[in-house]
Chains A and B, each alone.
Chain A
Amino acid sequence: MINDKNSKKIVDIIQDFSRRHSLFVLAYGTGCGAIEIPPTMTSRYDAERFGIRGMATPRQADLLLITGYLASKTLKRVIRAYEQMQDPKYVIGFGSCTINGGMYWDSYNTIKILSDYIPVDVYINGCMPRPEAVITGFIELQNLIKEGKANGAQKYKENLEWYRENQKKVIKDWKMPDYNW
């Protein structure tokens, strides 16, 4: 994906363009921020203009949207969903809770920094971010894809041990296969 600008072939240009403009979102809506997704998708803000569309399963999705706090229990499911997504895949952390814990900064069962556990391409701050902010985040991701910088999945694969170590610190009873594709 990261090609030299000059050696970019026409196929790559088409591929990149379609990748940018067709993002299938898997919204992991456990946090309160999930309430901002319906307005973003429906008539007032209409994210479908940018080709952003909800998808129901991780297999079909390109973009994992983590809306808000993640309990250590749900982290396990998020990791599974993330690893089941097919490359190229991106993650957006949504709300202060994914950045630094937000108002749950001292809670015993929510993780504090999402990017310790799965690679995050774009963070949207706010508690909770308004639909404008959400759409700005999507556009930021599109720009990152255009510049070839949205390579969180690659980072995850290269630093799998580090991520696993962090994940296993929280998920004590690791009953999953080592990597579930």
Chain B
Amino acid sequence: MTDTILDKEQKLVQLLEQTFKKLSGKVVRQRRVTVSVEKELVPSVLSYAKSQLGYIHLSHMSCVDWPENNNFEIIYILWSPADKVQLFIKTLINRENPEIDNVDMIWKHANTYEREIREMYGIQFNGLVGAQEFILEDWDDMPPMRRDFDTVEYVDDNYTFRPGREDAGDVREEIVKRSGEDIPDFAKKYSRD
């Protein structure tokens, strides 16, 4: 059953693997395909998918931080209106020297995603033109979306917590103590423990 249904997905993976030697693809489920490539190959895979395979739309471009493996993973999500298949193109780059080629000549709007990723993860896109500051203003710390960035510590340094709100703990007891009222029954149902 699966064979007949996943026909076009498997054909896509085959086609990509034939064209590019260092590429491994996998059919996740119906209408979803993941492909892992080396970072040098990314622009050619993208332009090949766009011009030859009909994946003309870049839906999204995102980044995941993997400090365990010392990697950043960049993901391009493409969509083909003809095939109705979502193609995920993933690539791993080193965390020490994060650098990757800029693809905004293939899709113009990639520029915005790239600027956001550059600001939030500190990844350099070679040849990317655009103002350095995107959303954050006067940011002088580590890029905030990296997983080793400790937000609580940062907040502690830069802002003041209101007493009683230093963590996400349950404050109902405290409220009861201060106001002298009982916790209503309906609220007890939603206890955090």
Contacts and interface: CB of A to CB of B under 8 A. Distances in A.
- Decide whether A and B assemble into one complex: yes
Interface of A: 72-73, 76, 99-101, 105-109, 111-113, 116, 169-173
B41 interface: no
A169 B158 contact: yes
B190 interface: no
A76 B135 CA distance: 14
Main secondary structure on B side of the interface with A = loop
Given A72-B137, A172-B138, A172-B140, A105 B161 contact: yes
B138 A173 contact: yes
A107 B151 contact: yes
Interface string B160-171: 111011011000
Of B149, B164, B165, most buried by chain A (CB within 10 Å of CB) is B165
Interface in B110-137: 135-137
Given A72-B137, A101-B159, A111-B159, 6 more contacts: A73-B137, A101-B161, A105-B161, A108-B144, A170-B158, A173-B137
A113 B135 CA distance: 22
15 contacts: A73-B137, A76-B137, A100-B165, A101-B159, A101-B162, A105-B161, A106-B168, A107-B151, A108-B144, A108-B155, A109-B144, A112-B159, A112-B161, A113-B162, A173-B138
B136 A112 contact: no
B187 interface: no
A164 to B, nearest CB: 16
B152 interface: yes
Given A99-B162, A105-B168, A112 B155 contact: yes
B115 to A, nearest CB: 16
Contacts of A169: 158
A105 B136 contact: no
Given A112-B162, A113-B160, A113-B162, A107 B137 contact: no
Contacts of B144: 108-109
Given A100-B165, A116-B160, A170-B158, A108 B151 contact: yes
Contacts of B159: 101, 111-113, 170
